[in-house]
Chains A and B, each alone.
Chain A
């Protein structure tokens, strides 16, 4: 048996605003009987404000409760305010939903978007896109949206939120690709934090590969003494040790290279002789 909050149960047993608005000016139908849940939402908008909302749901307790909650949330809101409602807001209103039932809140958000689009007389965004999950008719756009809005990371989570992948499972690879793509767009490439040993090893490798050859060309050399945090302690050898410009070399050449190839916050210091 599902663990529903008291608020989910209460909205399920005593749904608010059930039925159809006769004077609705925004109507949407999402889901289907084959998929196991469907929601018909009708809203009445008056001078930019939602004055009334009603729903009809075919589905389980959480689908009914989510729709009931949505209509309660909508009443009195301006279109701009309503457009900001996310599926998480619907779940939060109910004190949370079991993770396997999050798709009920997504259904609510989809219905809301389409009802608003219907009111505005424009085509809803999600109708474009290509079907990824044949079993439940879920498009790449819908999956992308769910991944982005809810920071989903696994196929299982995508299934919980959109149903995509919950049938024959043949679309799982395609879902994985979408997750990877959306997450790559969402997160700036962050460098993994290096351990001191990794840092030291990479510095040594970089010195060897990128720096020593050119120093040696001029008869000089460099030796890594220690790494303390981001301080790279080095000693210069050969002609470098005698060269007055060696400080410049360390800053402009060695540090720049190390920052570029190892870690952006490195500071190169020459240990006193």
Chain B
């Protein structure tokens, strides 16, 4: 059975070009970039190139890039650094819909005496800018807001938010794990002080990430050890991963246009097709201001895990914000923060595309999903009665 992979916000396929670029770093050029010999030195030169490739995609300078092991490490490093360098500041501003890498960290810090303000979102997942403006305190140590939401793809106006923080002298961090490679980013022209990204969300391998730290920012390392990354992140560099991240950033830069035209068109085709074919179905999240690859749809009266498993029978991969998929008993915190009714939240499915998806795949999904929803609704005790009520209204 062919796999139709529409779960690219979870992870992506390593691009063949990336795989080709990194393979020799496992068995041919396996030297340690810190070594004095030229065998290691040649790897150090390649890391420099990778750093340039990452910086180029972000519109940043090479010395502003710190390689890490993942997006979570980048996020943790950014927040902990801001707290460590400003001992007297005990307040954190974030949003209600952050990825667990920030959300769980902030809850952990709240348990250690820090004050955390979570800015709410509206029904479309848009940040409440009025509440944001009112959230600053004299001792706010950092603002951390995601650029693009991993579940809905909704984009936060992080550049505007960063300007507001800068006016008040507050460092601004953004978790841009989902945004990097999908939307243009020019950090040089922004007020963003720190930005997290993850390799495996943009066709690099898992186990590599990066943190952008604006030149001149105060910084305190999270991983303490050797002098790697100019003393800002100890630990021998994941050289194949970093080379792969560099290559993936270069590819993403070149494919950004395709991402925003062809991939977006496929996404729209899938979304509009499903909305037209399936009654009692809705789109979650701001329709206009979101990532070009993400579509979060709710199918009322059916449960997400059941949908996923039925899609799985056809080789279709996606995600759900339902309670049953997460292992917790409550649906996604993002959908709850948006006030999506439970009846809809339990039946939410996130489709996230990539440049590797094709017209044929989308046509196949459009053929199968309405059938799956229909099959599950026939089993649902709510379907008939509710449908009647809707028709009457």
Contacts and interface: CB of A to CB of B under 8 A. Distances in A.
What is the interface of chain A mostly: helix, strand, loop, or mixed? mixed
A64 B328 contact: no
A56 interface: yes
Contact of A58 (B310, B331, B381): B381
Given A60-B303, A60-B305, A166-B329, A36 B322 contact: yes
A235 B208 CA distance: 76
A34 B324 CA distance: 13
Contacts of B325: 60
B346 A33 contact: yes
A138 to B, nearest CB: 11
Interface string B122-135: 00000000000000
Nearest to A103: B329
Interface in A155-173: 159, 163, 166-167
Contact of A13 (B310, B323, B329): B310
B327 A59 contact: no
Contacts of A34: 342-343
Given A36-B322, A40-B381, A61 B330 contact: no
A167 B381 contact: no
Contacts of B310: 13
B378 A18 contact: yes
Given A64-B306, A166-B329, A39 B346 contact: no
A101 B50 CA distance: 46
B343 A59 contact: no
> Which of B322, B324, B329, B343 has the most CB atoms of chain A within a 10 A radius of its CB?
B329
A184 to B, nearest CB: 28
Contacts of B382: 33, 38, 58
A132 interface: no
Contact of B302 (A18, A58, A159): A58
A60 B322 contact: yes
Contacts of A13: 310, 313
A223 B380 CA distance: 77
Interface residues of B, number: 26
B301 interface: yes
Given A34-B342, A163-B329, A56 B303 contact: no
A126 interface: no
B306 A59 contact: yes
B329 A56 contact: no
Nearest to A33: B343
Given A36-B323, A159-B329, A56 B343 contact: no
B277 interface: no
B344 to A, nearest CB: 10
Nearest to A32: B342
A87 interface: no
B309 interface: yes
A39 B381 CA distance: 7
Contacts of B323: 36
Interface string A94-137: 00000011000000000000000000000000000000000110
A33 B378 contact: no
Interface string A35-67: 011111000000000000000111111011000
Contacts of A135: 329-330
A15 interface: yes
B324 A60 contact: yes
B379 A57 contact: yes
A58 B303 contact: yes
Interface string B322-340: 1111011111000000000
Interface string B353-378: 00000000000000000000000001
A37 B382 CA distance: 11
Nearest to B327: A100
Nearest to B343: A33
A29 interface: yes
Nearest to A100: B327
A56 B380 contact: yes
B41 to A, nearest CB: 45
Nearest to B344: A33
A163 B330 CA distance: 10
> Which of A58, A63, A100, A135 has the most CB atoms of chain B within a 10 A radius of its CB?
A58
Interface of B: 301-306, 309-310, 313, 322-325, 327-331, 342-343, 346, 378-382
Interchain residue pairs A-B with the least CB separation, the first 5: A166-B329, A60-B324, A56-B381, A60-B305, A40-B381
Interface of A: 2, 9, 12-13, 15, 18, 29, 33-34, 36-40, 56-61, 63-64, 100-101, 135-136, 159, 163, 166-167
5 contacts: A2-B305, A36-B323, A36-B331, A61-B309, A167-B330
